[in-house]
Amino acid sequence: MHALKELIENSVDAGSTSIEVLVKEGGLKLLQITDNGHGIEKDDLPILCERFTTSKLKEFEDLSSIGTYGFRGEALASISHIAHLTVTTKTTGSSCAWRAHYSDGKLTPAKPGQSSAPKATAGRGGTQITVEDLFYNIPTRRRAFRSASEEYAKILDVVGRYAVHRTGVAFSCRKHGDSGVSISTAANASTVDRIRQIHGSAVANELVEFSVEDDKLGFRASGFVTNANYHVKRTVILLFINHRSVESTNVKRAIEQTYSTFLPKGGHPFIYLDLEIEPQRVDVNVHPTKREVNFLNEDEIIESICSEIRGKLAQVDSSRTFLTQT
C-alpha cells in the first residue's frame, strides 16, 4: 500500500482539508482518492506522469524538498505503468474540471480511437485520482495479491495512521457497495478524538501526552501513549518521521523495553509518536518501498524520548497508587 501513502501525501501537500478513499476488491479493481486541495493546472496534465520532467527535476535537486521525506515519490508515474490511471482535477482559477487518462507515463485516450487530450468536465475544486485494474499487465503481481479483505485491512491501516496524524484534515475510507464508512474523521477532530474513532475508547481513555525536544540532537518529538492501566498483546505503534508514516524497529523495541517495568508480562502499549528530525540527519538513502528508517544519533534521540515517556508513566502510576491509598 505504498502507492496509497504517496497519494495521501500528495493530497496533504495540496492543502486539502478533506481526503476520501474509495476501494473495490481490496484496491485491485479500484482505488480512488478524492481531495479538496488546490488542484493541478491543466497545462501540467500532459507531463504529470513523466519521470524527471524539467520542473520536477528542479524540485528533485532542491535539497529541502528531498529532505521533507528523504526521497521523492513520483507516485503517479509509477502507477501509470501498472494500472489504469485517471486524474480529474480543478484549480480555483479554472471554470471547469479537467480529466486525463494515463498509461506508461503518457496521456492516453479514454477509449481507443479517441483523442488523448484532457477533457473538460464538471467537478468540484480539488483532485480525484482513480487507479483501476492494478497489475492488469503484471499477472504474477496480480496473483500474489492476497484476499480483498486482507488488502482492505492494509488500506484501512494506512488511512487510519494518516487520519490520526493529520489534524485539520477530514478523512474517510469506504468499501464500494458498503452503505457505511470504515473510517470517518472530521477536520476539526482533536488527536485524541481521532485515536478514539480509529482505535477505540479503551485506548483513548488511557492516553498520556508527552513532548520532548533537543536542539543539539536536532529533533522534536511529541505524541500520545497509553498509561499502565492499558495493555494489549501486540504493540500498536503509529510512527511519523517528518510527517511520513514509517517503521523503526529500534524505536519500537526501545519503547517496548520502557514499558516492560510498567505492564504485566506479555502486555504492550499503544504509541503515537510524531517525530521531526532535521532532514539532513534522516537517512536519505531510504527508498520509498523500504519503510524502515534510520537517522543520526538514533540511540541518543530514542533514549531521550523513552526517558520522557518513562517519566510520564511513573507520574501516572504514582498518582494512581496515591488515589487507591486514600
> Which residues bind to ligand ADP, rule: CB under 6 A?
6, 10-11, 14, 35, 37-40, 48, 56, 72-77, 127
Q: d(Cα 258, Cα 226) in Å, to the nearest integer?
A: 12
The 1-20 contact track toward Mg ion, x by CB under 5 A, reads ---------x----------
**Interactions with Mg ion, residue window 60-99 (CB under 5 A):** 73, 75
Query: Does residue 46 touch Mg ion according to CB under 5 A?
Result: no
Nearer to ligand ADP, 2 or 312 (CB): 2
Query: Does residue 182 touch Mg ion according to CB under 5 A?
Result: no
Choose among Mg ion, ligand ADP, none what residue 46 binds, the Cβ cut-off being 5 to 8 Å by kind.
none
Nearest CA-CA partner of 171 in 8, 37, 10, 19: 19
Nearer to ligand ADP, 28 or 76 (CB): 76
Choose among ligand ADP, Mg ion, none what residue 40 binds, the Cβ cut-off being 5 to 8 Å by kind.
ligand ADP
Taking only Cα atoms into account, the Rg of the chain, rounded to an integer number of angstroms, comes to 22
Give the nearest distance from C-beta 73 to Mg ion in angstroms. 3
Distance from chain centroid for Cα 194: 14
Report yes or no: 60 and 66 within 8 Å, Cβ to Cβ.
yes
Give the nearest distance from C-beta 140 to ligand ADP in angstroms. 24
Instruction: Give one DSSP letter per residue of 220-266, joined into a string.
Output: EEEEEEE-TT--BSS-EEEEEETTEE-B-HHHHHHHHHHHTTTS-TT
Choose among Mg ion, ligand ADP, none what residue 14 binds, the Cβ cut-off being 5 to 8 Å by kind.
ligand ADP
Cell numbers for 10, please give them.
500528495
Give the nearest distance from C-beta 169 to ligand ADP in angstroms. 12
Nearer to Mg ion, 118 or 288 (CB): 288
Q: d(Cα 288, Cα 275) in Å, to the nearest integer?
A: 18
